Structure 1
């Protein structure tokens, strides 16, 4: 007599468990289905810091509309909000170009974690300095005659 297989066993294969069976009736097709995933993969690229930050804030607003944060005054709600703000700070910093690595390190090494707006202000200040430095260098490069 063959041993009986327990249907509650996680390795049990039922009659409907076949290769190619559709488990989810919705076809997932890219960014229309993955707005949250898009937030995690957004990078500055050739955009200015302010353009990149605005795109992130718009995506975060969409996220908050779909998945609102808990609104009670309980400690877990406060922990969730603080965690969400830290995640957004890390998302913002990690999507910046390598030119801002020094400023990103300074932000992350601060004794207290700055707010997202404070970090944004520091990065904008760095961007302004980089642009001013680039303009100064290009003004000084004149052809040298021999």
Structure 2
């Protein structure tokens, strides 16, 4: 019902209100803002537009920098945990160039972890490189225990 009323009365109400749905003077014929719509002189409006463009460029630079920092962090973490590399992250880091910085605390954490891994790796490498025959170790331990029991039985009256 409301739709029917809108169709019948809509055009008449628009004409009565004084326009075809556009704000009179608020925008130009193509819908863009004008100096008059902002209540500024032409020079003020041009300065305003220039500031908007500069702010947008600055925001885009900061966004690209933060994006590159995150990509650099992902690359470092992939290196640390030996995960496959991402071409997209590599490209993002290369596009940013030398502008990216890893936070100092994060760099310390990564360095400490690398040092700890080197220590662990060296121990694990030694352990893996040892030729250990567990059967020999087991039989040696058993014979030693039996010898200790026999010596204890000989010297101790209670046993």
TMscore range, shorter length: under 0.3
Q: TM-score, normalised by structure 2?
A: 0.26
Which structure features the higher share of helix residues?
A: 2
Structure showing greater radius of gyration is 2
Q: TM-score, normalised by structure 1?
A: 0.28
